[in-house]
């Protein structure tokens, strides 16, 4: 067992504690990655606040990039020194969903209490979201990592691990958007901006951003939104429909807010569908009128991690970035050290940040 520094949650809602923890060597088809960067996702914050339960103590963090520093005996195609993106998608490859090409909804459970982490004195330490990337190193399954070009900076690459694939994938994969169709994106935060980019890349005719903040709507237009609508308007769907001249073919809900889910079907055109991305706290309930959706041929579908196949989609997105067609650097609001993680989380919770990134060379 080697000792590494990690940010550990000991109590829901309390500040993370920077401490030494144990990390075992990779086994089987696992790889050890020495991290250069990890981004702070709202899902990490929600988990750390107890929104979805879970085991404590725990190490959160799941949007990471770095270099492989060791491999298990069963690893093929990867070697020490490779630059990689680390994701939370721990797909077994053999369950019905994995075998049918849907690895983001793998049915094989993972028990983070039995992962590679231990407390300094050998106690249970939960590897949250199969990653535990608020730490100097991680040990994860080979299936969770993707080798990437040396030309992409690690802070930009880390964003692809969750926020980018979730937003872009929700449009391209879950919505199956075709060129010329119209899209509404509710929420212009990190995932929302990537959904807007996905719609632009897919050739959408109109891309309407909906948010509570005028400032965020202005940023959304920098990422490709054609129009912006304030969610605080009495009937924002009317303004969106006016901008499009019709309803939307797809409405991407990127925030975990119940009012956003209640309103989402109202933006739809005949035959349109709501893509549910944002995750409210457990117990949150939304309502809609099913007869309208049935009569108009509309639908609602959940999208986890953009329905991506990481070995297919992440190299594509890296290439888009290197071509200048996918904005990543512009998504980074601030760069922090691991010792500053609680400050970075607080800044993220203000709602003003796009993505804050922890750099391990600071």
Measured between alpha carbons, how far is residue 76 from residues 79, 92, 309 in Å? 8, 15, 18
Q: Transcribe 118-182 into DSSP letters.
A: EETTS-B-EEGGGT--SBSEEEEEGGGEEE--TTS-HHHHHHIIIIIHHHHHIIIIIS---TT-E
Q: What is the mean pLDDT of the chain?
A: 96
Task: Judge if 38 and 105 occupy the same domain.
Answer: yes
Task: Judge if 77 and 188 occupy the same domain.
Answer: no
Task: Judge if 65 and 193 occupy the same domain.
Answer: no
Measure the CA angle with vertex 166, ends 170 and 319; round to 5°: 100
Measured between alpha carbons, how far is residue 25 from residues 1, 85, 92, 124 in Å? 7, 19, 20, 16
Task: Judge if 172 and 141 occupy the same domain.
Answer: no
What are 361's two structure tokens? Answer: 């060379």
Task: Judge if 147 and 171 occupy the same domain.
Answer: no
Q: Tell me, what's the pLDDT at 299? A: 96
pTM for this predicted structure: 0.94
pLDDT tens string 164-213 = 999 999 999 999 999 999 999 999 999 999 999 999 999 999 999 999 99
Task: Judge if 224 and 289 occupy the same domain.
Answer: yes
Task: Judge if 182 and 292 occupy the same domain.
Answer: yes
Q: Tell me, what's the pLDDT at 362? A: 67
Query: CA 277 to CA 256: how far, in whole Å?
Result: 8
- First CA to last CA distance, the chain: 25
Query: CA 274 to CA 113: how far, in whole Å?
Result: 35
- Its domain, for residue 243, covers 167-304
Domain-embedded: residue 125: yes
Mean pLDDT for 234-261 is 96
Task: Judge if 9 and 99 occupy the same domain.
Answer: yes
Number of domains in the chain: 2
CATH number of domain containing 338: 3.90.180.10
Mean pLDDT for 129-142 is 97
Q: Residue 322's closest CA among 87, 123, 153?
A: 153
pLDDT tens string 37-64 = 999 998 999 999 998 889 999 999 999 9
Query: CA 134 to CA 330: how far, in whole Å?
Result: 22
Task: Judge if 279 and 174 occupy the same domain.
Answer: yes
Give yes or no for a contact between 202 and 306, defined as CB atoms under 8 angstroms apart. Answer: no
Domain-embedded: residue 162: no
CATH number of domain containing 300: 3.40.50.720
Q: Residue 119's closest CA among 57, 61, 60?
A: 57
Element (H, E) at 310: helix 310-323
Domain-embedded: residue 275: yes
pLDDT tens string 141-172 = 999 999 999 999 999 999 999 999 999 999 99
53 or 26, higher pLDDT: 26
Task: Judge if 127 and 253 occupy the same domain.
Answer: no
Confidence of residue 5 (pLDDT cuts 50, 70, 90): very high
Q: Tell me, what's the pLDDT at 354? A: 86
Q: Tell me, what's the pLDDT at 351? A: 80
CB contact set of 143 (below 8 Å; sequence gap of 6+):
29, 89, 90, 91, 92, 93, 103
Give yes or no for a contact between 351 and 189, defined as CB atoms under 8 angstroms apart. Answer: yes
Task: Judge if 133 and 228 occupy the same domain.
Answer: no
Please check the confidence at residue 352 and state whether its pLDDT lies above 90: no
- 182 Ramachandran zone, left/alpha/beta (phi>0; psi -120 to 50): beta
Element (H, E) at 198: helix 190-202
Longest CA span, the chain? 63
pLDDT tens string 299-351 = 999 999 999 999 999 999 999 999 999 999 999 999 999 999 999 999 999 88
Residue 234: exposure state from Cβ atoms within 10 A (0-12, 13-18, ≥19): exposed
Please check the confidence at residue 282 and state whether its pLDDT lies above 90: no
What are 194's two structure tokens? Answer: 């990537």
């Amino acid at each position: 067992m080697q000792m590494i520094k990690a940010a550990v949650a000991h109590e829901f809602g309390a500040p993370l504690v920077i401490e030494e923890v144990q990390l075992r060597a990779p086994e089987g088809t696992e790889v050890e990655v020495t991290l250069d960067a990890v981004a702070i996702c709202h899902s990490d914050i929600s988990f750390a606040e107890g929104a979805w339960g879970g085991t404590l103590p725990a190490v959160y963090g799941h949007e990471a990039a770095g270099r492989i520093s060791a491999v298990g005996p069963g690893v093929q195609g990867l070697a020490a020194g490779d630059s990689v993106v680390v994701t939370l998608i721990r797909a077994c490859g053999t369950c019905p969903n994995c075998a049918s090409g849907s690895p983001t909804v793998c049915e094989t459970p993972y028990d983070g209490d039995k992962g590679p982490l231990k407390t300094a004195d050998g106690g249970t330490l939960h590897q949250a979201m199969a990653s535990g990337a608020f730490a100097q190193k991680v040990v994860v399954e080979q299936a969770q990592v993707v080798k990437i070009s040396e030309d992409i900076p690690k802070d930009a690459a880390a964003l692809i691990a969750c926020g980018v694939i979730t937003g872009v994938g929700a449009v391209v994969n879950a919505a199956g958007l075709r060129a010329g169709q119209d899209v509404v994106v509710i929420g212009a935060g990190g995932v929302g901006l990537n959904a807007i980019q996905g719609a632009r890349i897919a050739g959408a005719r109109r891309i309407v951003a909906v948010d509570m903040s005028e400032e965020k709507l202005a940023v959304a237009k920098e990422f490709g939104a054609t129009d912006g609508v304030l969610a605080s308007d009495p009937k924002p769907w009317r303004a969106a429909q006016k901008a499009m001249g019709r309803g939307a073919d797809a409405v991407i809900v990127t925030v975990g807010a119940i009012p956003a889910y209640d309103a989402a079907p109202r933006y739809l055109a005949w035959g349109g569908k709501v893509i549910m991305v944002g995750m409210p706290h457990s117990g949150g309930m939304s309502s809609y009128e099913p007869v309208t959706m049935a009569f108009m041929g509309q639908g609602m579908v959940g999208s986890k991690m953009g329905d991506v196949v990481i070995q297919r989609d992440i190299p594509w997105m890296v290439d888009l970035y290197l071509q200048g067609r996918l904005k990543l650097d512009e998504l980074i609001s601030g760069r922090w050290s691991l010792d500053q993680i609680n400050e970075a989380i607080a800044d993220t919770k203000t709602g003003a940040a796009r993505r804050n990134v922890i750099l391990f060379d600071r």
